[in-house]
Amino acid sequence: MKNNNKITIEVMYKADYCLPCFYMDEAVREILPRYRDQIDYRRVDLTSSGKKRFLELSVSLFGEEGVYKHNRIAPIPSLFIDGELFFDAIPPRHDLEDAIREMLIKNIN
């Protein structure tokens, strides 16, 4: 999911009435201006076009057997950076920025 030297942040988002989803999305949007050229941000809407991506990320976490036989899915809400689960709860700003910096450094090397 890498685009040049950018990292991809994806938030699993159920709906506007899901307050944890809403606030996780807000947490990311708050810090985006600082990293505008380094982050590709996607809100994965589970009720429409994001279903397939949600399934792909769930399989990456739990394997096909875990998803299809044991009905395990990615947490909602959750935040993935470059396809890797980083947060399954609303992250404090400093933790989110630490994770972003870590992945940006990893992406450069």
| 31-73 pLDDT, tens digit each | 999 998 999 999 999 988 899 999 999 999 999 999 999 999 9
Q: Is the pTM of this model over 0.85?
A: yes
Q: Return d(Cα 31, Cα 99) in angstroms, integer.
A: 12
Q: Return d(Cα 11, Cα 88) in angstroms, integer.
A: 10
Answer whether residue 1 shows pLDDT above 50. no
Q: Which domains does the chain have, with CATH numbers?
A: 7-108 (3.40.30.10)
